[in-house]
Amino acid sequence: MKVKVCGMRNLQNINEIAALSPDFIGFIFYEKSPRFVVEMQCNETQSIASLPDGIKKIGVFVNESFEKILEIANKYALNGIQLHGSETPLQCCALQDEFTVIKAFSIAEAADFAQTVDYEGCCDYFLFDTKTPAHGGSGQRFDWSLLDNYSGETPFFLSGGIDLDDVEAIKQIKHPKFAGVDINSCFETAPALKNVEKVRKFKSQLMNS
């Protein structure tokens, strides 16, 4: 199972989390997010770009222009793009030529999975998050039994309010397209600052059968 730690910003904290070898680390380039990656100094930018090859660096965007996404992706040497807005399948396909593409969908009821149909074949992963007025990062969990209503072919990440005490419940999810988990706000001591020991415990427990 893949583990994605999202909402990173502090360089020391990023390096501490990277030492735990998650599969993905997410950086949020959406100005309204409390985890927005503000302009970094050159050496910090280079340090993020030089994270171990085994960790995919994912940029998170909300209704951003294609040109701006490419500019930021090149600056931080991003491997993947996560889209949290109303981006179209065509936009996803265009980015997929160069990047791993993750499209996020807000889930509150079974009918919400219908919106994924048009994105099949245009994304490497879907991400199912809790439906709220904001674009993710709510710390709220949706009813995971709803995942049984997803019948698509694209593998997905589970997100939204995942905490350390959810490990056993996560292990019980047997959906054939369940690829991994995206953790964020419940593992923070402050916005964009992760509790390294808590993340370590989560990853260790998740990987132990």
Which residues are catalytically annotated?
Answer: 6, 129
Alpha-carbon gap, residue 104 to 136, rounded angstroms: 9
**Both tokens assigned to 128:** 């199912």
Positions of E strands within 1-158: 2-6, 24-28, 56-61, 80-83, 100-107, 125-130, 156-158
Cβ–Cβ < 8 Å for 26, 18? no
Alpha-carbon gap, residue 108 to 142, rounded angstroms: 6
Alpha-carbon gap, residue 155 to 176, rounded angstroms: 8
Helix axis angle, 66-75 to 89-96, nearest 10° = 30
Cβ–Cβ < 8 Å for 104, 139? no
Q: Which residue, 85, 31, 29, is CA-closest to 57?
A: 29
